[in-house]
Chains A and B, each alone.
Chain A
Amino acid sequence: MGRVFLLGDDVDTDQLAPGQHMRSGIEAIAAHCLEAVRPDFAAGVCQGDVIVAGRNFGAGSSREQAAEALKHLGIAGVVAQSFAGIFYRNAINLGLPVLVAQTIDGIADGDHCVLDVDAAALTVGGSEIALEPIPDNLRRLLDDGGLVSHLKQRFAETRR
């Protein structure tokens, strides 16, 4: 069981991984994740919490620390009405579930929730919201634990 962190449209990568901390490791970046818009986030987030956001989540830079920071902080996944393309690929490559919801109406900040990636569903306060399933080719990547583990398996097979 986690809680919802509700965010708006166009949450950008500079908010998720501030440039000033980009020269540092993921620990430091994660500590400042979303600080410009949600100063209580990094300190308050717990394992299993879910980000629910509007349109175009992860807009901007290709820096994958934006997705990595969320994973590092224990976010179970991001549910948004749409994702910026590069962020979406980065998240899957790093093993962070990202799922599209037709609507996020009725979901409130702090709601208790459970994200079920297999069923493509978010349960919030007893009601279940259907999400768009992750496409097959990406689901395989996610199941393998991200791109690096996926490639490790691939190279191991060709070496055999």
Chain B
Amino acid sequence: MSGATLAQKIIARAAGREAAVPGEVVTADVDLAMIHDSGGPRRVEPILRQLGVGLWDTSKVVLISDHFVPGDTDEGARILRMTRDWALERGVEFHDGEGICHVVLPERGHLKPGMLVVGGDSHSPTGGAFGAYMFGVGATEMAGVLATGEIWLKVPETIMIEWRGLLGPGVLAKDIMLALCGRLGMDGGGYQAVEYVGEAITALSMQERMTLSNMAAELGAQAGLIAPDTKTYAFLRAAGAHMTEETSLRTDPGAALGAHHVFDASALAPQVAAPHSPANAMAVCEAPRTSLDLAYIGACTGAKYDDLKNAAAILKGRALASGMTLLVAPASRQDQARAAQDGIMGVFEDAGARLLPNACGICAGYGTDRLAAGSRCISSTARNFKGRMGDPSAEVWLASPFTVAASAVAGEIVDPRDYLTEREIA
């Protein structure tokens, strides 16, 4: 036996097996199910009714409202009301308007390493940053999980993505992911499990790691794992999770891999992805000169506390370019409160940013805040598909919080490192 990958170990345990062999179809017990206001109650309740069953285990279901918050359309408000009523009726733990599901779930201590978790959202791989095998499903499949507590999986191969060395100043997890999307393509993950390893990954904060796992979705992977370490356990304990540290939750040295990619973190430059795909990534210095109307700091990928802090580091004491609009939608109420305490929210205010609710906002494009026809936006979000954030003629460039902030100051896409160096010199 040559050993097993982290993904295989978690799946084998959840499926009640000695081992899980890649390619094999297994049925696993679900440790936790996360649903939100869009794919959640309004879609699953009619199915549960049809089946004539309740939830398999109320204590293992967490509901979070984010997509339709703040209920700025009649239908959105109605969906939120229905979501609230359902939470009460079904007695499910509900985080209402407290932030984006992928950020709120670990922040409230719901995740633990080794768990098998199903989320009703495509960015559910975010949970992999905490060593949980978490993946996204649609509403019908989620209804099946809520009714039975089980889900089928094809045991994935593990695509090991190793980043040796350390990221240079001005380079963030987001740059890693855009570079990977460009290099491997949006189907490079082949619905297998991606696992991030290497010195650069170990050095990242938990929220930066979340950005890596989150955007495993953009690689088309089922999950995006990072083996738990002392940082993971410290973060989760602070969030109120109780658990013992398991040293075996890692990929064994001899385990067979689907692929092993090695990159040099120190050589990575800040990236942008041109419209309309994250795979259109390039180094900022290679991007064509692009003037901008709008900068968006938002989403589970790009508006967590660390993201806000990074954006503010550049914005501090600087003004936005004339005509530029900056929108900031902090990913959770808790992250916003922390940012306010540390003076970060004040920096956004001084810069003249417009503050949006702790929700998906323009990233989902489900409400009234949308990009106007012909507008050109630089955004810290994960996806720049045509028409996603507004009119199909709008252009969205994806970048890190550093790059979004520096570009908001410059009025065009710029390398944030020039702005950081200025600061260091001053």
Q: Interface on A for B, CB 8 Å cutoff?
A: 10, 12-15, 18-20, 22-24, 35-37, 55-56, 59-64, 67, 82, 84-86, 88-90, 93-94, 135, 137, 146-148, 151-152, 155
Contacts and interface: CB of A to CB of B under 8 A. Distances in A.
Contacts of A19: 364-366, 387-389
A85 B220 contact: yes
B140 A93 contact: yes
Given A151-B51, A152-B50, A22 B383 contact: no
A27 B392 CA distance: 21
A151 B138 contact: no
Contacts of A56: 185-187, 220
24 contacts: A10-B186, A13-B122, A14-B383, A15-B385, A18-B365, A19-B364, A20-B366, A22-B364, A23-B79, A23-B366, A36-B386, A56-B186, A56-B187, A60-B383, A62-B39, A62-B121, A64-B39, A84-B187, A90-B140, A93-B144, A137-B25, A148-B47, A151-B147, A152-B51
A86 B217 CA distance: 10
A103 B186 CA distance: 19
**Closest A-B pairs by Cβ, 7 of them:** A64-B138, A85-B191, A19-B365, A23-B75, A90-B138, A36-B387, A56-B187
Contacts of A147: 140-141, 143-144
B370 interface: yes
A31 to B, nearest CB: 15
B68 interface: yes
Contacts of B365: 14, 18-20
A85 B121 CA distance: 13
Given A86-B138, A93-B138, 12 more contacts: A12-B388, A15-B387, A19-B365, A19-B387, A19-B388, A22-B67, A23-B68, A36-B387, A37-B386, A64-B141, A151-B144, A152-B51
Given A36-B392, A62-B120, A137-B152, A93 B187 contact: no
A42 to B, nearest CB: 14
Interface in B372-426: 383, 385-389, 392
Q: Which secondary structure dominates where chain B touches chain A?
A: loop
Contacts of B222: 85
Contacts of B79: 23
Most buried by B among A13, A14, A55: A14
Contacts of B185: 56
Contacts of A10: 186-187, 277, 279
Interface of B: 25, 38-39, 43, 47, 50-53, 67-68, 73, 75-76, 79, 120-122, 124, 136-141, 143-144, 147-148, 152, 185-187, 191, 220, 222, 277, 279, 364-366, 370, 383, 385-389, 392
Contacts of B47: 148
Contacts of B68: 23
B383 A148 contact: no
Q: Interface centre among B120, B121, B186, B277, by most A CB within 10 Å?
A: B186
Contacts of A61: 121-122
A94 B137 CA distance: 13
Nearest to B141: A93
A19 B152 CA distance: 28
Nearest to B382: A60
B220 A59 contact: yes
A86 B137 contact: yes
Given A37-B386, A56-B220, A85-B191, A63 B51 contact: no
Contacts of B191: 84-85, 88
B73 A23 contact: yes
Interface centre among B138, B140, B141, B220 (most CB of A within 10 A): B138
A61 B25 CA distance: 24
Given A85-B191, A86-B137, A60 B25 contact: no
A149 to B, nearest CB: 9
B25 A135 contact: yes
A22 B370 CA distance: 14
B38 A22 contact: yes
Contacts of B73: 23
A32 to B, nearest CB: 10
B76 A14 contact: no
B223 to A, nearest CB: 10
A126 to B, nearest CB: 32
A90 B385 contact: no
Given A23-B73, A137-B152, A148 B50 contact: yes
Given A22-B366, A148-B51, A151-B51, A63 B38 contact: yes
